[in-house]
Amino acid sequence: MKIIVGLGNPGKEYEDTRHNAGWAVLDALHKEFAADEFKKEKKFNAEVSLASFEGEKIVLVKPLTFMNNSGEAVQPISNFYKVPPQDIFCIYDDLDTPFGSLRIRAQGGPGTHNGMKSMVQHLGEGFPRLRIGIESRGTTSPKEHETTSFVLGKFNKEETETFKQTVKKAVEAVKTWITEDIEASMNKFNG
């Protein structure tokens, strides 16, 4: 069994924002896997969907704790399904990665991302992760954007098509992790 977590914020005002890139990938995986509908699970404070892919049972998770407390939702899900950290794949936006790029790692620290700080606090550093590059200030968006308004902003028209392609690549990277391993996913999709 594998758990795939997309980090994001619940609520209409956060839909389609850069900070919800993890949820965008989860929505694409949900469709790709023809998964069950997402259901709010009060005991986890998350939306959860069950799926299978290539014989592997998959739990798709959208924490509803808001970004900075994501680990508070994921840890109880991990305990409930008895899934170790190395089988929990976390997908999130990253301001330190160029727009449209993917960075996949087998484990590591949280960097500057508050959602990842919460994940590491609750799960340790031993879970794989996929960072989706959202930094476009000075290239496809104005350079003078303040960080908070930038990450909570929506992709502009010029960025939307590139982001759609990035989500497709992220879906393929997750599928490779499931069918092969994290090393194969890193070798094929980092860049």
CATH number of 2-189: 3.40.50.1470
Q: What is the pTM of this model?
A: 0.95
**Residue extents of the structural domains in the chain:** 2-189
> What's the pLDDT score for residue 136?
82
**Confidence tier at 170 by pLDDT (50, 70, 90):** very high
Q: Over pLDDT 70: what percentage of the chain?
A: 100
DSSP of 121-151: HHH-S-S-EEEEEEE-BTTTB-TT--HHHHH
For range 155-174, the mean pLDDT: 96
pLDDT exceeds cutoff 80 at 145: no
Known catalytic membership, residue 113: no
For range 88-111, the mean pLDDT: 95
Of 129, 116, 140, give the one whose Cα is nearest residue 19.
Answer: 116
Q: Given 19, 113, 122, 145, which residue is catalytic?
A: 19
For range 45-55, the mean pLDDT: 97
